Amino acid sequence: MNEEEEKYDLKIILLGSSKVGKTTLVNRLTQGTFENPEQTTGATFSKKKYQGELQEYTFSIWDTAGEERFDSLSSFYCRNSGCELILYDITDRNSFTNLDRFFDKLQYTNEDSFVILIGTKLDLIEETSKLRKVTLEEGKKKANDKNSYFFEISSKTGHNIQELWETVGDLFEKNSQKNEIKHRQDNNHFQINSFTNNQKKKNCC
Amino acid sequence: MTNEYWFEEKDVFLEISSNTSTKKFLPGVLRLSTDSRDQTVLSWVQLIGRTQQEETNENNKTNQKLESDWCVVDNPNGLQKSNILNIPESIPEKKSKNNGNSHENIANKDINSHNKELNHIPDYLPRSDPYIADRSFSLQVSRFEMIKIFENRSEGYSINFCTENKEEFHLFFLLGEPNTLLEAILKDNPQLEKSHKDSNDPNSPKIYSKISTEKPLKTKSTLQNIWSSVKKYSKKQVEVLQQQFKATNEEEEFQKQIISQDESRLENLNLEIRNIKTIGTRGNMAVNEEIWKGFLDENGRVKNPTQLQKIIFYNGIDPKMRQLIWKFLLGYFPMESTEEEREEIQKTKKRLYQQVKTQWENIIPEQEKNFRKYRQRKTQIEKDVYRTDRVIGIFSEDNSPSMMMMRDILLTYSFYNFDLGFVQGMADLLTPIISVMQNEEDSFWCFVGLMKRVETYFLKNQPGLREDMLILRSLLKLLDPEIYNIFVSDRRSSEFIFCFRWLLVCFKREFAFNEIPLLWEVVWTDFLSDKFHLFIAVAILQVNHDYFIAKYQDFDSILDFLNNLSGRLDLVSLLNNAELLVQNYTQKIPLVFEKAKNKLITLENVSSPNIDSDKNRIDNLPQKSHDKSNNEKVLKRSTSQPERNSNKIVGISKLYHV
């Protein structure tokens, strides 16, 4: 109806302890910039387009506060999320050991959502690997245990950022194809139900 | 007797709306009857769709319910004077005695238990769902007049009609075979002329509306034709619609709950409000040294604290005087302290601060290694200190004195109040204080005073903040019901989480850094209300009233919109608006009470969790005049309240929208 009224094809939510680089990653993704942002209070969201194989999609990216006391809020923001980026700082051991608190949030997200575990601040260990507190293997293992995808990135240098974004888009497209097939099957068997579902969607949006 | 008839149609989906409310009904039985006095009675009972809650409620008082399912038109006064919708109330025994024949049929059906009613439920509807007494109503009118028929091809028809008392009603039917119905109505209503919603588009929905108002209608035949043309649904249609309606009903239940909670909260809100009708000139007459000195007696005590608060509330404080006066506002210096005493306080507090500070300063590195909680706090604080207000001069340089001060104060506070510790947002509350005080000890104690005000915001799950959000919602219901309704009709927005940032750091992120002192000192005076910050929040929402009405989509859109308001709000005009809202609030509150009283009378038979408490409270009100002992008939009672009968549409909204 109106250009301001936009529908988002995918809701991405960023989770992780305080100061692991959630807002920085959002800024890198949406503006291509790198700076030291203020701590996030509540949540903010931004949008980014993704050029798929056949069409262009718009994703919303939700940035949350890492503060543990505001935990109940991030559960709220996780509702309807289709992709979770869970971040830790590879130079901050605590941010890694704390990860389970964010994997617990997955119960609030969409059933078919996918998770990407991300180790951040890769640039800090370029000169000296002394600063690294979480090894690449540990990260991979954690991702494997939690059935999620894995990246180590640097929002400062842009390392792996493009790859990360492509992966998000790919997984989204695969997911929606799957859904479409499922949807079609459902349609053949239960025409009425799918009608109802559509109606419901219309009502709540 | 001869012109009496009754008519009944099952499985009608019905929607009734007035100007103020809309109520949807699940398939039900619709009955139309006319008595010897030419009064038409339209009654309807919902058959399915009862929620768990209602089931329990009904089980608790089955007997009562069975007796009060139907409204009977046996009160001539009620009939002639009042054509309002009534919650069905009394047993139709009288009627069957008086009238016999066809009415007796209805009456018998009505009093008889569920078994009979269950027979009305078509085979394809779940039998386990007996009808809901609460969802039945009856409408008595002596003459209907068709005003407008609106055809919406995919859904059905809406029919507007008007009673002879000029009450307008709107019935909405979901129909199987619209054409038959339409033909029937049009045949009987030659005054309805066809047009299209969009006059240029012949495919747009059709509207048949009444052009001339002269000709009265042959009411009975019209309605009879409507009902007789109603087609039953196919099984599948019913299933689909049933689910849709269930979903809507759940939402409605949820919404109802919220609204009734908000109403009872409003009634119990004990905001300290002063009702003073002037508008501030903020900034023009700020409290400067001269004004301040005029407030002190010979010993340096503040002579008239309330007057001081008032002046600050309306005019703010001169930046030069903030350093001193903030200490009073934040409870560092008591208003009644003498100059001498304050020197003493300052000395003591300085010592105490250092005492707490040395506690963490003296932690030696090995000790720190074994002190995880301290380590975590320290890292957390440092993380935030390095990213709070870095664009502001005194904090912009790495490790600047002010930045170090921020760190030390936060760390000391986390020892001073160890249970609370450090939570994100605290740094935001501290930086304006540092910039005004420019002194570590004073900043610390002022910060302590500020934290006392908002401590509950920072506890786990933010109980204080959540409470304030609910009060905010109640205030909005009173002060801007239109946008309130928009927010509460969306489950995600109904929690008002989009105000989280505003409240947590008292709008610090919404205004420029140099505007914060004025905003905060106005709030800290607690002058007009101790919840003035909530009125500011209402003011911000209200300023954007038109946006919400026109563009509201969902929680995401509103969060995005509100986040983007940051830096674009006009502080002084918002403070003025908030002030007007306080006045508005004081004027409306008596009305809320009045409304609650009416609600009680109208809704006596409807089970609602809040009614009982309301009832007790209202029973004790001296204004209550009607006779308690004669309370069996809602109808009677409502006629004894003439002021209410004069506004029947409101009566409907109360019945179905509370």
pLDDT for the residue numbered A186 = 46
Nearest to A199 among B244, B376, B389 (CB): B244
Average pLDDT value for residue range B638-655: 29
Q: Which of residues 218-257 of B touch A (CB under 8 A)?
A: 236, 239-240, 243-244, 247-248, 251
B519 pLDDT above the threshold of 60 = yes
Nearest to B240 among A66, A69, A192 (CB): A192
Place B149 in a pLDDT band, splitting at 50, 70 and 90. Answer: low
- Each residue of B322-343: pLDDT tens digit? 999 999 999 999 999 999 999 9
Length of chain B: 658
Q: Which range has the worst mean pLDDT, A163-177, B480-494, B632-646? A: B632-646
Of A36, A200, A204, the CB nearest to B387: A36
Question: Looking at A165-169, B182-186, B202-206, B641-645, which range is the least confident one?
Answer: B641-645
3-state secondary structure of B42: strand
Rounded-to-integer distance, Cα B57 and Cα B55, Å: 5
A175-184, B183-192, B344-353, B566-575: which is most confident? B344-353
Q: Which residue has the higher pLDDT, A138 or B197?
A: A138
Count of Cβ atoms closer than 10 Å to residue A197 Cβ: 14
Strand partners, B42: B32, B139
Within 8 A by CB and 6+ apart from B421, the residues are B377, B414
pLDDT exceeds cutoff 70 at B582: yes
Comparison of pLDDT for B253 and B89, the residue scoring more: B253
B505 with A41: Cβ contact below 8 A: yes
When computed from its CA atoms, the radius of gyration of chain A, rounded to whole angstroms, is: 18
pLDDT band per the 50, 70, 90 thresholds, residue B114: very low
User: Between B243, B495, B557, which is nearest A196 by CB?
Assistant: B243
Residue of B nearest to A38 (CA): B387
Q: How far apart are CA B208 and CA B194, in angstroms?
A: 4
Average pLDDT, chain B: 67
Q: How far is B326 from chain A (nearest CA, A)?
A: 26
Rounded Cα distance between B314 and A159, Å, is 54
**Residue of B395, B431, B501 to mutate, testing the A interface (most A Cβ within 10 Å of its Cβ):** B501
pLDDT bracket for residue B583 (50, 70, 90): confident
User: pLDDT of A60-95, one tens digit each?
Assistant: 999 999 888 888 888 889 988 999 999 999 999 999
Burial A1-31 (b: 16+ CB within 10 A, else e): eeeeeeebbbbbbbbbbbbbbbbbbbbbbee
Query: A46-60, B278-292, B293-307, B628-642 — which is least confidently predicted?
Result: B628-642
CA–CA distances in Å: residue B335 to residues B299, B304, B527: 12, 9, 15
* CA-based nearest residue in chain B for residue A202: B244
Q: Cα separation of B30 and B16, whole Å?
A: 13
Contacts of B94 (CB under 8 A, 6+ apart): B72, B74
pLDDT at A116 exceeding the cut of 90: yes
Q: What is the pLDDT of residues A148-158, one digit of tens each?
A: 999 999 999 99
Cα separation, B353 vs B447, whole angstroms = 12
* A contacts of B387 (beta carbons < 8 Å): 19, 36-39
| Closest by Cβ to B236, choosing from A41, A69, A192 | A192
Identify the pLDDT of residue B161.
Answer: 57
Q: A36 vs B459: CB contact, 8 Å cut-off? A: no
**Contact residues, B window 478-507, toward A, CB-based 8 Å cutoff:** 490-492, 495, 497, 500-501, 504-505
Cβ contact A67–B239 (<8 Å): no
β-bridge mates for residue A62, sequence order: A13, A45
**Residue A45 CA to chain centroid, in angstroms?**
12
Which 3 state secondary structure label does DSSP give B305? Answer: helix
User: Which structure tokens are listed for B477?
Assistant: 């219901």
Higher-pLDDT residue of B164 and B120 is: B164
Cβ of residue B424 closer than 8 Å to a chain A Cβ = yes
**What's the average model confidence in pLDDT over B216-236?**
37
**Chain B nearest C-alpha distance from A51 (Å):** 23
pLDDT at position B593: 62
What is the mean predicted confidence (pLDDT) over B386-392?
91
Predicted local confidence at residue B389, as pLDDT: 92
Q: Is the pLDDT of residue B651 over 60?
A: no
From B239, B497, B505, residue closest to A76, measured CB to CB: B497
- On chain A, the residues whose CB falls within 8 A of the CB of B458 are 69
Is B504 close to A5, i.e. CB distance below 8 A?
Answer: no
* Nearest CA among A177, A155, A173 for reference residue A164: A155
Q: Looking at residue B517, what is its pLDDT?
A: 95
Which member of A5, A41, A79 has the closest CB to residue B553?
A5
Comparing CB atoms, the residue among B424, B491, B553 nearest residue A65 is: B424
For residue A39, give the nearest of B387, B461, B554 by CB distance: B387
Q: Which residue has the higher pLDDT, B9 or B397?
A: B397
Contact A69/B424, CB-based, under 8 Å?
Answer: yes
What's residue B192's pLDDT?
Answer: 64
Q: Highest-confidence range of A106-110, A135-139, B59-63, B283-287, by mean pLDDT?
A: A135-139
Check pLDDT > 60 for residue B7.
no
Count of Cβ atoms closer than 10 Å to residue B600 Cβ: 18
Beta-carbon contacts of A89 under 8 Å, excluding residues fewer than 6 positions away, are A17, A19, A20, A21, A95, A96, A119, A120, A121
Query: Which region holds residue A32: left if phi is over 0, alpha if psi is between -120 and 50, else beta?
Result: left
Read off the tokens for B577: 């608006």
| Nearby residues of A54 by Cβ (< 8 Å), 6 or more positions away | none
On whether the CB atoms of residues B49 and B14 are closer than 8 A, the answer is no
Highest mean pLDDT among A163-167, A186-190, B245-249: A163-167
Higher pLDDT, A52 or B347: B347
The residue among B500, B507, B546 with the most chain A CBs within 10 A of its CB, best to mutate, is B500
Please judge whether B551 and A5 are an interchain contact, meaning their C-beta atoms are less than 8 angstroms apart.
yes
**What is the nearest CA distance from B553 to chain A, expressed in angstroms?**
7
Which chain B residue shows the shortest CA-CA distance from A47?
Answer: B560
| pLDDT at residue A126 in the model | 84
- How many CB atoms within 10 Å of residue B20? 12
| Contact: A205, B247; criterion CB under 8 Å | no
Closest-approach residue (CA) in chain A for B375 = A94
A42 with B501: Cβ contact below 8 A: yes
User: Is B387 within 8 Å of A196 when comparing Cβ atoms?
Assistant: no
For A106-145, b where at least 16 C-beta lie within 10 A, e where not — what string?
bebbbeebbbbbbbbbbebbeeeeeebbbeeeebeebbee
> Which of residues B351 and A80 earns the better pLDDT score?
B351
Contact B509/A at CB under 8 A: yes
Would you say the ipTM is above 0.95? Answer: no
